[in-house]
């Protein structure tokens, strides 16, 4: 069980944004999840180094996955505590583009450019918020 202080720290570190798609939590209808990067079913711990803030969509699509199959190869997914987001992904307007194999695999696996998700990010940009 993740304690309240750990949840608070994860939210603070994440700047109240999804650590995968960067959506601000206060612009979401659904509270974000403090998720286990390595799922409990894969012996992931409740340590801070294994926790990340994720929107409901990213958390749903990621599930317990740590990797994806891309072009016949296994590619690690983005790990918010071990990777820098900017080294793996970038924004192109409201779309998220993977700039590494890990970034590209994560964008696909987490379905980050589903039309509704892009539309939400577009609204965020039109409201003058940054992503």
With contacts defined by CB under 5 A, name the span among 13-21, 41-49, 70-78, 123-131 that binds Zn ion.
13-21
Closest CB to Zn ion among residues 60, 73 = 60
Largest CA-CA distance found in the chain, in angstroms, rounded: 42
Question: Which of 18, 37, 51, 120 touches Zn ion by CB under 5 A?
Answer: 18
Closest CB to Zn ion among residues 58, 107 = 58
Closest CB to Zn ion among residues 1, 127 = 127
Q: Which of 73, 63, 58 is nearest to 113 (CA)?
A: 58
CB of 43 to Zn ion, least distance (A): 24
Q: Which of residues 24-83 bind Zn ion (CB under 5 A)?
A: 55, 58
| DSSP line for 85-100 | HHHHEEEETTEEEESS
85: tokens are 């987001």
Residue 98 and residue 8: Cα distance in Å, rounded?
29
Question: Phi and psi (nearest 5°) for 87?
Answer: -80, -10
Closest CB to Zn ion among residues 50, 59 = 59
**Tokens 């509704």 correspond to what residue?**
116
Question: Which of 21, 34, 52, 104 touches Zn ion by CB under 5 A?
Answer: 21
Task: List contacts with Zn ion (CB under 5 A).
Answer: 18, 20-21, 55, 58
């Amino acid at each position: 069980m993740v304690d309240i202080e750990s949840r608070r720290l994860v939210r603070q570190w994440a700047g109240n944004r999804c650590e995968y798609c960067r959506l601000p939590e206060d612009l979401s209808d659904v509270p974000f999840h403090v998720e286990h990067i390595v799922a409990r079913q894969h012996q992931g711990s409740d340590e801070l180094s294994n926790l990340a803030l994720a929107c409901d969509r990213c958390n749903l699509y990621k599930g317990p996955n740590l990797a994806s199959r891309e072009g016949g190869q296994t590619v690690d997914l983005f790990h918010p505590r071990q990777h820098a987001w900017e080294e793996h992904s970038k924004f192109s307007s409201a779309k998220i583009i993977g700039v590494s194999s890990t970034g590209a695999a994560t964008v696909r696996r987490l379905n980050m450019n589903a039309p509704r998700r892009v539309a939400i990010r577009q609204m965020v940009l039109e409201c003058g918020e940054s992503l």
